Chains A and B, each alone.
Chain A
Amino acid sequence: MPQKVAIIGTGQTKHAAKRTDVNIRELVNEAVTRALIDAEVQLDEIDAIMIGNMEPFEGFMFPEHWAVEGWGGYLKPSVKFNTGGTVGTTTIAASYYYIAAGIYDTVLAIGFEKQSDGHTQTAITTVGDPVWERTMMAGAVGNFALMASTFIAEGGVTDEHAAKVAVKARHNGARNVNAHLQMPDLKVEDVMKSELLSWPVRKLDMCPQSDGAVAVVLTADHLAKKRCARPAWIRAVTTAHEQQYMGDSPKRLAVMRSQTAASRRLYKMVGITNPRKELDVAEIYEVASWAELAMYQNLGFCEPGEAGKLIDEGVTLMGGELPVNPSGGVLCTNPIGATAMIRVAEAALQVMGKAGEHQVPNVKTALATGYGGNAWTDAMILSASF
């Protein structure tokens, strides 16, 4: 029998465009310290450390060297993960598997990125296959623009729908003290008039580049029940990979095959048949407003072609039937190696009732996703009971 696994504490830095007041070790240490305090766990109770980071962004090969100074890893087992946009959820998934398998009882998972130390758009180029794709790479913006153009051609979404998603994110982020972008007064027309980066993607449709770190304490059920009044149980975890080249799935954004496959598998594992009704909140990895709209469909929140209607009806707003990204999401905060783990930490905060100003009332079941790599998806369900 696998051990049941729960999240009993989380910690985040104040995310920002440039945290030049700290180096990478000091940045990570902020999140780790906060997570240990939140979980009420001492460092010597941590059996192992899982580290998520995208090395090309900082140009440093062994960030795990920093484990001792930054996160108390002296003589502890530690493993590093680097899976692209999904790295934070992959790191949580691995922590979950280690505990479920009975290898460790308590694991500290860490995700971080200090984008201001490097050159993000150039590093992203190395995602492309060097022989077939890299010559034509146009960074994250060009890629999402191409994908969004396909999505628009499928019908049912307009730039106004995308702008509404962008506004929702920034209004939610304004209630989250850790969020990088704070834009409580942003209006739909501001987004639609913002600089056109690459049609149909405008500046305010895109996520920012952030410095930030997150840490999560996971533990086995026999400890979780003793240590935490209301832990966030990890009910199910899954991950799905796409084919290798970007053009292998020509309609990648309109039909995210990995996201459809992963979410359907996940729902089946926990017996969810109507995600819109049965999920209380979702923290999803939406790098662009357009991507969030596509994800509504691909995660089964609505039928294909109805994503625009979903945002028009306010279903995914705070106070709606299924609030999506109460934290402000990736559209407010994007330290890449931390971003997907922030989704999990935020979903856990919602389940634990500790999300403060951006708390959704009575959250029992939450979805967290990661998206990236070459269109890979990680997905997990957190719940108040197991």
Chain B
Amino acid sequence: MAKTDEVIRVPFLMKMEYRYALGAYASRFFQELKDHGRLFGIRCPECERVYIPPRPVCGICFVETGEWVPVSDEGVLVGATVVRLPFIDPMTGERRPVPYGMGIIRLDGASTAMYHFVDETDDAKLKVGRRVKARIRANRKGNMRDIECFELVD
């Protein structure tokens, strides 16, 4: 048998589809977002943190949450970057066009933050501490993309 140094690699492409059940708390959050374009968090009765995503239990106090509270569609950037590295968009399987802005946003009235797109690609403008406002889509489907992105407001 001939000895070979040739390296053989076998390609394999896999497409898998998932359908995640949201559960009661996320369902209520997205129903409210879809029907009225409003954002809600849920408050822990002990530490009074207001959580987005809403959840049945405060992980820090380990007590049941329960009180739904409206939060603003405006907030502040606690993290910000312009992504320049091409990256496969998990929703489409296609390469996401670069550059695009991203932020960690703490909405007014919430204790936690969320990751979302920010409509700004200038590194000098997209800075921690800047105020942002959610751009909510007119046609909503009940998912995170009902918030199209955030935009700088001040």
Contacts and interface: CB of A to CB of B under 8 A. Distances in A.
Contacts of B51: 248
B146 to A, nearest CB: 11
Contact of A250 (B53, B81, B84, B112): B112
B111 to A, nearest CB: 8
Interface string A141-167: 110011111101100000000000000
Given A20-B9, A136-B116, A142 B81 contact: yes
A149 B115 contact: no
Contacts of B7: 20-21
Interface residues of A, number: 42
A101 interface: no
Nearest to B114: A247
A197 B114 contact: no
B112 A153 contact: no
A50 B7 CA distance: 30
B12 A59 contact: yes
B106 A250 contact: yes
Nearest to B98: A198
Interface residues of B, number: 44
Contact of B20 (A125, A131, A139, A142): A131
Interface of A: 20-21, 59, 119, 121-122, 125, 129-139, 141-142, 145-150, 152-153, 196-201, 243-248, 250-251
Contact of B79 (A20, A134, A150, A245): A150
A201 B113 CA distance: 21
A59 B10 CA distance: 13
- Which of B79, B91, B144 has its CB near the most chain A CB atoms (within 10 A)? B79
A146 B104 contact: yes
Contacts of B84: 196-198
Contacts of B88: 119, 121-122, 125
Contact of A142 (B55, B83, B91, B129): B83
A138 B80 contact: no
B128 interface: yes
Interface in B106-151: 106, 112-117, 123, 127-129, 143-145
A258 to B, nearest CB: 12
